[in-house]
Structure formats: structure tokens, C-alpha cells
Structure 1
Amino acid sequence: MLSLQDIEVRRDGRSVLALDALQLEAGSFTVILGHNGSGKSTLMNLLARQFPPDRGRIELDGKPLASYRQRNFAQKVAFLPQHLPDVAGLTVRELVRLGRFPWRGLLARWQPEDEHAIDQALQQTDIAHYADHLADSLSGGERQRAWVAMLLAQQAPLLLLDEPTSALDLAHQYGLMTLLRALNRETGRAIVAILHDVNLAARFADRIVALKGGRCFFDGSPDQLLSGERLSALYDVEIRLVEQPGQARKIAVVQ
């Protein structure tokens, strides 16, 4: 689905991201991990076409990323940035409705499937009871879920989410990740998400790409990543794995 080759991004004369090759396949659930400044958001913004690389090639379904018209790109890729824009004056339903514009535009007649997609997204994210509330009146976590609902209504086959759990309490973090995992399994939508929580990533991801210093430090399954030595080297802090009651997989804790 997405292919990156010989990628480099430079800022102030230095390389902040350099990747020889990275393939993101259709239907996969990939989490990007790494400490602050490791290049996670830079990589996500490249995938979301927020800016081009200084060197290298990015392709989506075999075509250069830059060759897509914006509307066609939005039909294939839905992006949730880390810092959400203001939506003054919009209700939650109106915000979620924006997810249908890549398919209908401003002038085309709206179809019953559009309203169904909006209603379904509101229900899936558990914010249907806020549909008529102003979006900017919601709490941070509720507003985050409203934006995720907009992405779901967009029905793009690839979802890019930059720290989608950052404003959520623990229950809603797991609720959102459970929802995304179910969508991935049931609809085949590919998901790429930046997370900070190793244990949350290990629980839900098929694949983890870990960056360090703008380079790929690890690319593999959660079980392959869950090594005290490997995690300690990734985060430059002593990490060990401990048993969790009733679970086969150990969890990572800082020593």
C-alpha cells in the first residue's frame, strides 16, 4: 500500500529522519514507537503528505504520493494530526460529516449511505449522545473521539493517527484501541498509529516500527520487541519485563 525508499528529511542542515526502505501493507495494524524527537511525527507527516521528503520516493498503491489530487488522496488516506485544529461553531455531527466530503464534495447530492456512515461512526466512538453539542465545548477526550469519528466516516482504507490516545483517560485509551483493532480486523482497513505506551502497542499492534535518532531501530512483531535489553536500548532507560496476572504476555516496566 505505502512504500518508502531511500527517504531523508533535513532540518537546519541536519538529518532528522533517514530510512532506507519501509513498506506498510494493506490490512495491517502498525504502531510507531520511539522517544520524543525520534522522528515519529516527521514520518507520520510524510505519510500524510504534509510535506515532501528532501530525498527519496514515497508511493501509494504503486503511484507517487505527490501525483494524487487532494480529493483522491483523501479517499484513500484519513489523517488525524497530533494537534487538532479549532472547529468553532460546528456541532459534533457537522464535524463528523466533514469526513464525507472526499466522496461528495460541496455540491453533489448527499446519499443515504452518507448519513449511515456518519451515524455509524458516532455510535462506534460512543459519542452519538453528543451529536448536537458544539465540538469545541467537549472535553479533550470527547473531542478526540469526535475527530476519530470523522476519520471513520471518511471510510478511507488507510487511517493515520498521530498520538490518538494522548488526550484520553485509561478506559478510553483501551476503548479506542479496541475499536481501531476491531475495524482493522472486520473491514481490512490499514491503521498506522503513533503511541507512547509500549504495553498498549504490544497489546493491539500486528507490527511495531520503533525509531531512534531518526533511524529505524526495530521493525517486527510485538513479541519480538518485548525484550528488556532491546527496550532499554530503545529508550535509554533500564526496562524489565514482568508477569501480568492472567496474561501470557509480560509487560514492560521501568526499573
Structure 2
Amino acid sequence: MAGEILPSHGDIRVDDTPLRQLGGKALGRKIAYLPQNLPATHAFTVEELVMLGRYPWQRWLSKPVQADRDIVEHSMHQTQIQHKATQTVASLSGGERARAWLAMALAQQTRYLLLDELLAPLDIVYQVEILRLLRQLAKERELGVVLIIHDINLSAQFCDDIIALKDGKLCHLGSVQDTMTQAVLESIFGVSLRLIDHPEHDYKVAIL
């Protein structure tokens, strides 16, 4: 989906265009992708990191223009990291660092975000914070967000649809309501889970 590996057959299409026909900056204008292993950017300031998101829209060797700076400022404001703009990425907490990278992805101004385990290194407080932000941004900016996540209860709370993979193959695709059943969860995880109603919200919670 990120365009790093060509499919052995068939096509992945983005807005009816085969992904294999999109390369470099053209792909970067369509999909903002944050891989699981993020590159080292500790010496960058937050503002410099977020400005990297403007690269797909800039001409070769051109400097950022005022429109780029405005978009970077807006992206940092949306992710509530603007007060850290002049600090280095190395000085940030885990949650702040995730918000800075997310701001960079937003600065690309794509219709789609592909986030590979963005939440994995974060404590639960930061995970919920980022998921609430993603939910809000998806609504406000009409973004399509694909998030790789391993917590079924967080998925049920914040996602619209769930795709489950097992042994490298698709084993389930459906809405949260269709997914949060005992039979489906057992087929995915291989263990018997109980489902209870959340005490405050209208969704199910899986427990052992």
C-alpha cells in the first residue's frame, strides 16, 4: 500500500490510478506514509521535521515559500505541537514525537494517511491521545486513514472498519460491529474471548 513492494499480481489503486504508475513526488502527493521504523531525525527541530512533509510539492532544490511555512504552522497547530517548534526531536517525549511526525504527514496535504504501528512505542495515555486526534482530523479534513494496530479494543473504539491479517493472509474484513463477536475474534486470535458492554459507550470490549 505504501508503494515499497510491487504486488505479484493485480493492482493497488489510488483514486483509480495504479500505484505502480505513481512514483516519487507523485506518490507523496497522494499518500502520507509513516513506517514502523522511523528514520533518525533527532538533530532536526520540530519545524524542520514538519517542513519535510512539503517536499513532494516543492521544485527541485527550491526553498520553502510562505505557503509552505503557513501549511507547516497549521499542521503543527492541528497536532498541538507548535509550542515545541524550535526544539529538537530528540528532546521530545514519546507522545510529542508521535504528534510531530503526524504533523509532518499532515503537511503533505494528502487525502490518505498510512500509519504503520505509530502507537506501538507509546503508553496508553498517548495512544488514546493520538487516536482521538486522528479521528478528529479524519472528520475535519475528510482523510482516509489506514492504521496498523494490535489492540482490538482500541480498534473497536476508534476505527470504522477492521481488516485482520493472519499468517500473511486476509482472515477478516468488516465493520467494528461485525468484528466484535466471539466467533470472529476467536478465528483471528486463536483464543476464546468474552465480550462485555463498555460501561459508558456504545461498543463492545473484549476480555480474556
1:186 to 133, 136, 140: 140
Which runs of 4 or more aligned residues in structure 1 lie more than 6 Å from their structure 2 counterparts after TM superposition? none
Match among 219, 222, 227 for residue 176 of structure 2: 222
* Identity value in percent: 40
- Counterpart of 1:132 in structure 2 is 86
- Cα distance in 2 for residues equivalent to 1:253 and 1:139: 30
Question: Residue deviations 1:204-254, cap 9 Å, x none?
Answer: 111111111222211111011011221122101121111221222221112
Gaps of 5+ in 2: none
Between the aligned partners of 1:224 and 1:74, the Cα distance in structure 2 is 33
Within 5 Å, which residues of 2 pair with 1:12-31? none
Q: Distance in 2 between the 1:88 and 1:241 partners?
A: 42
Corresponding residue of 2:48: 94
SS at match of 2:29: helix
TM-superposed CA distance for 1:109, in Å, is: 5.2
Confirm whether residue 67 of structure 1 aligns to residue 21 of structure 2: yes
> Which of the two has greater strand per residue?
1
Matching residue within 150, 160, 169 for 1:196: 150
**Paired AA for residue 120 in structure 1:** H
> Secondary structure of the residue that 1:72 maps to in structure 2?
helix
TM-score relative to the length of structure 2:
0.93
- CA deviation vs aligned residue, 1:58-97 (integer Å, no higher than 9, x gap): 2222222111131111001100000111014211110000
Q: Does the CA contact (< 8 Å) of 1:92 and 1:130 recur in 2?
A: yes
Paired position in structure 1 for 2:107:
153
Q: Residue 14 of structure 1 aligns with which residue? A: none
1:237 aligns with 2:191: yes
- Equivalent position amino acid for 1:170 in 2: I
Deviation track 1:16-60 (CA, whole Å, cap 9, x = no partner) reads: xxxxxxxxxxxxxxxxxxxxxxxxxxxxxxx00112123332222
Matched-pair contact (CA < 8 Å) for 1:141–1:167? no
Query: Is the CA contact (8 Å cut-off) linking 2:196 and 2:204 kept in structure 1?
Result: yes
Amino acid at match of 2:139: R
Hey, what does 1:7 align to over in structure 2? none
RMSD: 1.6
The 8 Å contact of residues 244 and 251 in structure 1, kept in 2 or not, is answered as: yes
The whole-number CA distance in structure 2 between the counterparts of 1:67 and 1:123 is 34
Tell me if structure 1 keeps the 8 A contact 2:78–2:103: yes
2:71 aligned with 1:117: yes
Q: What is the correspondence of 1:23-62 to structure 2 with a 5 Å cutoff?
A: 47-62=1-16
Higher RCO (CA 8 Å, separation ≥ 6 residues):
1
| AA in 2 matched with 1:155 | Q
TM-score for both structures, normalised by structure 1: 0.76
The one-character-per-residue Cα deviations of 1:78-119 (angstroms, maximum 9, x if unpaired) are 000001110142111100000011112443453333222211
The Cα offsets for residues 106-152 of structure 1, whole Å up to 9 and x where unpaired, read as 43453333222211221222222221111123233322221111001
Determine if contact 2:156/2:204 at 8 Å carries over to the other structure.
no
Are residues 206 and 174 of structure 1, via their aligned partners in 2, closer, same or farther at CA, if it must alter by over 3 Å? same
- SS where residue 57 of structure 1 aligns? coil
8 Å CA contact 2:163, 2:170 repeated in 1? yes
